Chain A
Amino acid sequence: MILKLNHLNAKATAATQAVIEAVYSMVANGHLDKGQFARLQFELDWIQYKQNFREVVTATRGFSAYGAEAPLMDIHVDTRQVDPANLQVELARALATSDRVFIEDFKSLRQSVVWEFNKFYWGHLLAWEHATGKGYDQALPGGSSDGHNPQAIADDVEEFLDLLMDLRDKNQLPPEVNLLEIGVGSGSRCAQWLDQFHAADAKRGTGFYPLIRFYMGDYSNDTLDKARPAVAKHIDQCRFIAMDAMNPIKALPQLRHKILQVHLTNVYDNLPDEEVVRRDGKLYFVQVRAYVPQAEAQRLSHKYGIALPEFKGRVLRMIAEGFDSFGGTDQGVPFWQELWAAIRLEERLVRLEDLTEYPFPEGLDAGKLEDILSGAPADFRFHLSSGALESFIRTLPLLHPRGYLQIFDIFVTDLAQYRTGFFGPGKLDGSLLNWVNGALLKEVAQREGYDVHFRPFQYRKDTKTSILYTTRRE
């Protein structure tokens, strides 16, 4: 057995002894055979997100690409939540997997119904906020979006003005100065940025403001309509674009090579993702299936008048159609919130036999992945950050030769970091988030002609946000 301690603190240390005792006990009782024991990997994590998709103890089995079970198993223990006295019970429950109401079959995390919940949340955000009495921003660590930090915006504006002045000095200033923010939400960052730019431009006497074309992108016109009042003062400078964050170039083909700055805050961490495990020199794809623990499903069914056999159907119907089947939001929203809190993901590892045939996200292929992994840990689990990667790859063509991409988000900047902790998926209110595999983005970007750099978000103490920005490779 391999025991991996991904996080060191007193509680994790105490749990380690309990883990060893529990495993020996299970072998002695015949709940684990010696073959399994030899390939067993025990990981003790500290789960950052109190709301997540894992039980206190989870067991992940390995399978061949053709469905046969492989002698491989990972067991994860959340040392933040575990009670060492209950470990054996939790372990037995994790291995049994029988007391669950599944709401889908095994599939890629990217295809999982949890992303439908995520979409549902953004579509019904007001209902959620009304029920909790808190705005989305208040759920964020720090109580507000880092994108709205006034000093961060002020610094950015000054740097951007320097760029424009340099372009003008070189007689390369374009007739229209295009910027794009993807995921504008309420529009308040755009408004702050434009206020700041207007003032700084006037102070410097540079006269760039009339050239500004600020493209505000979000997933629907309804959302953009809500952002419109925030930028009322600057409306002539603003353009509103309904877009899929994963395909910006599709929404703005006329701006290929014409945008000087693209900004995103906390968008990539909320895009569909999938994970890969590297074990013993082999790659395994993580498949998931969403479930609700039987006891919770029974409780929710009873409370909301749903027959248990109809539980899955009612859940899927709510996601597809809204709250009508609950007679409206009064009943529907509380069910949704309790359901979301109860949803877990069961996992299995499926061997990637033929990497060249795997449908990698755009920007990645078997050869590139092998290159990227050549310097990575031999035994680890990592995000492909599929949605983020596709968004990234489909944003770069928009950049002007002097343009840059600026992303405020939570990044894993070195693949070795994956050896030291858990980086999602977690839950944030009704949404889903993952850390973004910045190390992978960096490698992929180089082949696209860009260097990716990370710098700490210096404007808020103890923040986990960092800033990714691109520069052109020559």
Chain B
Amino acid sequence: MNLPILPTAIVGSYAMPPWLERLKGEYFARRISGRDLDEIYDTAVKAAIKDQEIAGIDIITDGEVRRDNMVDYFVERFPGVQIDRSSKKFYYDFYDTSIRNKLPMASLGLVQDFTFLRNFTERAVKYCVTGPHCLTKRINNQFYPNDEALAMDIARLMNLELKALAKAGAQFIQIDEPYYSGFPEDLAWGVNVINTLVEGVDAKIAVHICYGNRYGKPSWEGSYRYLFPAILKANVHQLTLEFARRGGEDLDLFKEFDAPFDLGLGVIDVKNEEIESPELVATHIRKALEVTPAERISILTDCGCFHLPRDIAFAKMKAMVEGTKIVRKELGKG
């Protein structure tokens, strides 16, 4: 990946158009075919890619616009997981799911999403998956003795998929694990789960941990202090955290601990429609530079832009890019 210093990216999801929800409703009502829906998704992904490119983002995602939410897209692909299809009222709602037997190993079919993304941009790309801990918390476990055992099997299953993604050319994979902030006590075994998930995967690995982003609102509050020092043992290359909404106090943790991974710095608040100024973005970056060298920082949104209106999400991405340019110039690398 040939990237500028302080490379920019969104965490994963781009703005979810309200019309896409309606069209999926049309699909469920059998007024449009599955083939039409796939084509609609393809078109939406292309638009998300194009918006990121025009905004000047360095590392492109597929915007995750094929996903109703960050859980169902994966759990639906897990063999042996029971899904109550009646449990979902809105597009964003999670299905009620349960597991009653050992999770079989199988392909999840994510490679074709990555390939589609790879084919429609010349820029560096990042493929994002929801992590085993988050998925475990959404599945009613009726088989495994505890959450750790289920999460470990999900990690084994998804490890195969990550290897397949790497084999297909994915050089950068992000694992989204927001639920640790709600269940910090799980991190004691959660790091082993992360390490099982990424073992032997030949790609740059980032872990994104935020405070939740359901319906554009945080699910928990607190301090990232709970992550340390346990997270230092995670075999990942980047830890991506939200700082724009919460303030930069927890950045000091990167001074206090000698982190073996790079910092993914959230500089855009995705839970507020007010658009940041480039100068505010630059201020956030300067603060991070006090604790970590520029070569080890990536510039990101706090979390996915899923719940933001498209025009707001686009304007926020542009502000992030412009703010990053200010700091690059200050560093003499603009």
A residues at B contact (CB < 8 Å): 171-172, 174, 256-257, 367, 396-397, 399-402, 446-450, 472-474
Min CB–CB distance A360 → chain B (angstroms): 14
Closest A residue to B185 by beta carbon equals: A170
Instruction: Flag if B217 contacts A397 (CB, 8 Å).
Output: yes
Instruction: Flag if A172 contacts B222 (CB, 8 Å).
Output: yes
Out of A397, A401, A449, A474, name the residue touching B221 (CB < 8 Å).
A401
B220 at the interface (CB under 8 A from A): yes
B residues at A contact (CB < 8 Å): 18, 22, 89-90, 93-94, 184, 211-212, 214-222, 226, 245, 271-272
Instruction: Flag if B22 contacts A257 (CB, 8 Å).
Output: no
Known: A257-B271, A400-B221. A446 touches B214 (CB 8 A): no
Instruction: Flag if B90 contacts A401 (CB, 8 Å).
Output: no
Closest A residue to B22 by beta carbon equals: A367
Given A401-B220, A450-B215, 10 more pairs with CB closer than 8 A: A171-B222, A171-B226, A172-B220, A400-B221, A401-B211, A449-B215, A472-B214, A472-B219, A473-B93, A473-B214
Please provide the 6 A-B residue pairs with the shortest distance between their CB atoms, ordered closest to farther.
A449-B215, A172-B222, A401-B218, A401-B219, A401-B220, A449-B217
When chains A and B are docked, how far (Å) is the Cα of A446 from the Cα of B219? 15
Contact partners of B93 in chain A: CB under 8 A = 473
Min CB–CB distance B1 → chain A (angstroms): 35
Instruction: Flag if B221 contacts A257 (CB, 8 Å).
Output: yes
Known: A401-B218, A473-B215. A446 touches B271 (CB 8 A): no
Closest A residue to B215 by beta carbon equals: A449
Known: A367-B22, A446-B90. A256 touches B219 (CB 8 A): no
Contact partners of B211 in chain A: CB under 8 A = 401
Contact partners of A399 in chain B: CB under 8 A = 217
When chains A and B are docked, how far (Å) is the Cα of A399 from the Cα of B216? 12
Instruction: Flag if A447 contacts B22 (CB, 8 Å).
Output: no
Min CB–CB distance A260 → chain B (angstroms): 10
Closest A residue to B245 by beta carbon equals: A257
Contact partners of B222 in chain A: CB under 8 A = 171-172
Instruction: Provide 6 A-B residue pairs closer than 8 Å at the C-beta atoms, listed in order of the A residue.
Output: A172-B222, A401-B212, A401-B221, A450-B215, A473-B93, A474-B219
Question: Number of contacts between A and B (CB, 8 Å)?
Answer: 48
With most chain A CB atoms within 10 A of its CB, the pick from B22, B215, B218, B220 is: B215
Contact partners of A171 in chain B: CB under 8 A = 184, 222, 226
When chains A and B are docked, how far (Å) is the Cα of A247 from the Cα of B226? 36
Out of A256, A400, A474, name the residue touching B214 (CB < 8 Å).
A474
Instruction: Flag if A257 contacts B89 (CB, 8 Å).
Output: no
When chains A and B are docked, how far (Å) is the Cα of A256 from the Cα of B244? 13
Min CB–CB distance B250 → chain A (angstroms): 14
Contact partners of B226 in chain A: CB under 8 A = 171
Closest A residue to B216 by beta carbon equals: A449
Instruction: Flag if A257 contacts B90 (CB, 8 Å).
Output: no
Instruction: Flag if B221 contacts A448 (CB, 8 Å).
Output: no
Instruction: Flag if A449 contacts B220 (CB, 8 Å).
Output: no
Instruction: Flag if B215 contacts A448 (CB, 8 Å).
Output: yes
Instruction: Flag if B221 contacts A172 (CB, 8 Å).
Output: yes
Min CB–CB distance A393 → chain B (angstroms): 12
Contact partners of B90 in chain A: CB under 8 A = 446-447
When chains A and B are docked, how far (Å) is the Cα of A108 from the Cα of B47? 40
When chains A and B are docked, how far (Å) is the Cα of A148 from the Cα of B242? 41
Contact partners of A472 in chain B: CB under 8 A = 214, 217, 219
Instruction: Flag if B214 contacts A449 (CB, 8 Å).
Output: yes
Known: A171-B222, A367-B22, A474-B94. A401 touches B217 (CB 8 A): yes
Closest A residue to B212 by beta carbon equals: A401
Min CB–CB distance B221 → chain A (angstroms): 6
Closest A residue to B18 by beta carbon equals: A367
Contact partners of A473 in chain B: CB under 8 A = 93, 214-215
When chains A and B are docked, how far (Å) is the Cα of A473 from the Cα of B245? 21
Closest A residue to B21 by beta carbon equals: A367
Contact partners of A449 in chain B: CB under 8 A = 214-217
Closest A residue to B183 by beta carbon equals: A170
Contact partners of A397 in chain B: CB under 8 A = 217, 272
Instruction: Flag if B272 contacts A256 (CB, 8 Å).
Output: yes
Min CB–CB distance B323 → chain A (angstroms): 21
Contact partners of B22 in chain A: CB under 8 A = 367
Instruction: Flag if A257 contacts B218 (CB, 8 Å).
Output: yes
Contact partners of B18 in chain A: CB under 8 A = 367
When chains A and B are docked, how far (Å) is the Cα of A256 from the Cα of B246? 11
Known: A256-B272, A446-B89, A447-B90. A174 touches B221 (CB 8 A): yes
When chains A and B are docked, how far (Å) is the Cα of A400 from the Cα of B271? 12
When chains A and B are docked, how far (Å) is the Cα of A171 from the Cα of B271? 23
Closest B residue to A253 by beta carbon equals: B274
When chains A and B are docked, how far (Å) is the Cα of A396 from the Cα of B211? 17
Closest B residue to A249 by beta carbon equals: B272
Contact partners of A256 in chain B: CB under 8 A = 271-272
Contact partners of A446 in chain B: CB under 8 A = 89-90
When chains A and B are docked, how far (Å) is the Cα of A256 from the Cα of B94? 25
When chains A and B are docked, how far (Å) is the Cα of A472 from the Cα of B94? 13
When chains A and B are docked, how far (Å) is the Cα of A400 from the Cα of B90? 23
When chains A and B are docked, how far (Å) is the Cα of A257 from the Cα of B93? 21
When chains A and B are docked, how far (Å) is the Cα of A367 from the Cα of B22? 9
Closest A residue to B220 by beta carbon equals: A401
Min CB–CB distance B203 → chain A (angstroms): 31
Contact partners of B184 in chain A: CB under 8 A = 171
When chains A and B are docked, how far (Å) is the Cα of A472 from the Cα of B18? 22
With most chain B CB atoms within 10 A of its CB, the pick from A257, A397, A450 is: A257
Instruction: Flag if B214 contacts A257 (CB, 8 Å).
Output: no
When chains A and B are docked, how far (Å) is the Cα of A171 from the Cα of B93? 28
Contact partners of A447 in chain B: CB under 8 A = 90, 215
Contact partners of A257 in chain B: CB under 8 A = 217-218, 221, 245, 271
Contact partners of A474 in chain B: CB under 8 A = 94, 214, 219
When chains A and B are docked, how far (Å) is the Cα of A174 from the Cα of B220? 11
When chains A and B are docked, how far (Å) is the Cα of A93 from the Cα of B245? 62
